[in-house]
Structures are given as C-alpha cells and as structure tokens.
Amino acid sequence: MSDRQRPILSAVLPVFQEGAHLGEMLAQVDRTLADLNQPYEIILIDDGSYDDTWSVIMEESVRYPAIVALQLSRNFGKEAALLAGLRIARGAAVITMDADLQHPPELIPRMYEIWCRGDADVVEAVKTFRGEESLFYKTSAKLFYFVMNCISGVNIANSSDFKLIDRKVVIVLLTLAERKPFFRGLTEWVGFRKVRIPFMVAERIGGTSRWSFFSLTKLFINAVTSFSTVPLSFVSLSGLVFLVFALLLGCHTLYIYGSGRAVSGFTTVILLILITGSWLMLCLGVVGEYLGRVFDEVKKRPRFIVRNTINVSHVEDRD
C-alpha cells in the first residue's frame, strides 16, 4: 500500500498447498524479521493451491500486518511464483525462501548482517546436508549440478533458492524477460558479488515435496536448455563421429565384398540400424527441446496471472 512505510527487507515465499502449516511458518519468519528492528514485509505467493492456503493467508494477514500476498490464477510453478514475488517486493533487500521451513529463518539475521556490511549483493545459502531425502534424490541432484557446471559454466552446486538479494540485483533479474526462468541459474548468471553461507536443510514442516521424477526432469531440461547450447553442438559433433564411423565401416564392407565373403555381417547391419536410429532420434529430441524453447519465448505468454491480492498497492495482473 502506498501509505505503508517502505520496507528495508522483503521476504518472498512461494506457497503451494502449505495451508496446514502456514501459521507456524509465518510465526517464525515474522518473529525473526521483527527482531531485526527494520521495516519489513512478508510476501506470500499462492501458486494456485487448491487446499485452504489462500483462506489461511487471508486470516493470517489480519494478525500480521506485514503480509502482502498474491494469488495466482493457477499453478504456474515455483520459478514463476518467485518472480511474481520479486515483482511486488519493495525492500532494499529481498529474501527468497521456501514456505515449508526447510530454509531455516534463523539464518536471516546473518544474511542481513553480511548485506549490511556491504560485503555482498547476493547472500546465498548453500546446502551442506540434505534432510532425509532418498539416495536417488541425492544422486540425481549431484548429477544435475555436475552436468550443469560442465556444459553451461554456471556453477550452482548445492545452491538453493534461499537467498538475500540486493535491490539492484532484483531490478536486473526483473528485466530478464525469459518465459521460463530458472531462478538459481539466473542469479548466478547476472554476476555481482556473492557471499555463500552453509546451512543444513531442515525436515519439511509438513506435507510432502511437490517434485516428482517427471517435474525434476522438466526442471533439468529447462535449466540446461536455458543456459547452454552445448547439447546442440554435441548433436553436430556426434554426427561427425558417426560419419567417420560410417566411412570406416563402408571401407570394411567394400573390402569384404571385394574378397567375395559378402553374405556374413547380418548382425552388424541390424546393430547399425538400431544404433543410428536411436541416436538420430535422441539428437532430434535435443534439437526439438531448443525449438520448443524458442516456441515458448515467441508466444510471449505471461509467466503468471494474478487472481487476487492482499495489501498490494500496484501489480500488473499478468507478467
């Protein structure tokens, strides 16, 4: 609201199906921010939840005047929800964090202190220990960071969406008009001075993580294709390798033909058809992914659509 004091700190929390424990989370975050003795706001983005999340937010906003909230018209995904939050955040520093208390609010004072000293434009909390996630989750996360680092040069190993971001970086992030933003990658890509502090990933306060194997794969493809065109060069390179291979095999076949032993080699033919066939499909798939991205960007559809607001002075109903 325009008559509100301009906050120094804005906490941005995307919320999806967290109605059950929103109260406890808010109590902790509000207490932590209040202890810093600076004007603050708590921005909640309801990412199209279909439980009681929005009604809980409305109730809590009476108790906590610092609450500013947006309800999106449907589930747009965490990245879009974060972006919507950044759009309306007015603080000199913006803290992004999860709403399930896996990002411990106790860390906020330290982040704030580092930012106050002027040591960093972005204070980033990096995971040192993951709760009790499955071995599969840990292995795929490691593999993901490794691949990302190798092919895009953007190092986001163990990074999380728990960050304190200076206003000037937020402004830059908001000018990046990608339709499918990958927030962690973008904050790394924009540069600026970063300080990393380790933290232990807490257990989820309730509910379950919304990531399925499928959605993680989608995130992976999104992250890779938005930060690197190496897979495309890889396609051309593999084409070249296959060409060399085909030439060698061609010579070999001709030689066999010349020496009158041509009938054998049925297995080789079948294998070659299978290998080249699958490889071609894979390469086409890679090209298709990038084409899909271009298609998404060209459509210029909004990244999120706002359905309802609480205490928001001005926001476009879409972005």
Name which of ligand UDP, Mg ion, none residue 47 binds, using a CB cut-off of 5 to 8 Å depending on partner kind: ligand UDP
Considering only CA atoms, which of 10, 20, 72 is closest in space to residue 207?
A: 20
Query: Which residue number, 18 or 124, has a Cβ lying nearer to ligand UDP?
Result: 18
Instruction: Provide the 8-state DSSP code for 73.
Output: S
Shortest Cβ distance from residue 19 to ligand UDP (Å)? 10
Instruction: Candidates 2-10, 140-148, 203-211, 226-234: pick the segment binding ligand UDP (CB under 6 A).
Output: 203-211
Residue type, 272: L
Query: Which residue number, 8 or 224, has a Cβ lying nearer to ligand UDP?
Result: 224
Query: Which residue number, 127 or 227, has a Cβ lying nearer to Mg ion?
Result: 127
Site for Mg ion in 82-111 (CB under 5 A): 98, 100, 102
Q: Does 16 contact ligand UDP by CB under 6 A?
A: yes
Shortest Cβ distance from residue 49 to ligand UDP (Å)? 8
Q: Does 47 contact Mg ion by CB under 5 A?
A: no
Shortest Cβ distance from residue 81 to ligand UDP (Å)? 4
Considering only CA atoms, which of 44, 53, 43, 67 is closest in space to residue 17?
A: 53
**Cβ-contact 28, 109 below 8 angstroms:** no
Q: Does 102 contact ligand UDP by CB under 6 A?
A: yes
Q: Which of 8, 15, 69, 95 binds ligand UDP (CB under 6 A)?
A: 15
CA dist., res. 260 & res. 293, Å (int): 52
Query: Which residue number, 77 or 91, has a Cβ lying nearer to ligand UDP?
Result: 77
Shortest Cβ distance from residue 299 to ligand UDP (Å)? 21
H or E element that contains 159:
strand 159-166
Q: How far is CA 237 from CA 115, 123, 226, in A?
A: 45, 39, 20
**Cβ-contact 33, 64 below 8 angstroms:** no
- Give me Rg for the CA atoms of the chain: 25
Shortest Cβ distance from residue 279 to ligand UDP (Å)? 33
Name which of ligand UDP, Mg ion, none residue 91 binds, using a CB cut-off of 5 to 8 Å depending on partner kind: none
Q: Which of 130, 179, 210, 218 binds ligand UDP (CB under 6 A)?
A: 210
Strand intervals (E) in 183-311:
194-200, 306-310
CA angle 201, 185, 189 (to 5 degrees): 130
CA dist., res. 84 & res. 72, Å (int): 9
Considering only CA atoms, which of 161, 149, 87, 91 is closest in space to residue 124?
A: 161
Query: Which residue number, 98 or 166, has a Cβ lying nearer to Mg ion?
Result: 98
Q: Does 98 contact ligand UDP by CB under 6 A?
A: yes
Residue type, 128: T
Q: Which of 73, 75, 253, 311 binds ligand UDP (CB under 6 A)?
A: 75
Sign of the C-alpha dihedral computed for residues 247, 252, 253 and 257 taken in this order: positive
Shortest Cβ distance from residue 233 to ligand UDP (Å)? 31
| SS3 label, residue 62 | helix
Shortest Cβ distance from residue 9 to ligand UDP (Å)? 18
Q: Does 100 contact ligand UDP by CB under 6 A?
A: yes
CA dist., res. 217 & res. 219, Å (int): 5
CA dist., res. 100 & res. 111, Å (int): 19
Shortest Cβ distance from residue 293 to ligand UDP (Å)? 20
| Residues near ligand UDP (CB under 6 A) | 14-16, 18, 47, 75, 77-78, 81, 98-100, 102, 209-211
| Residues near Mg ion (CB under 5 A) | 98, 100, 102
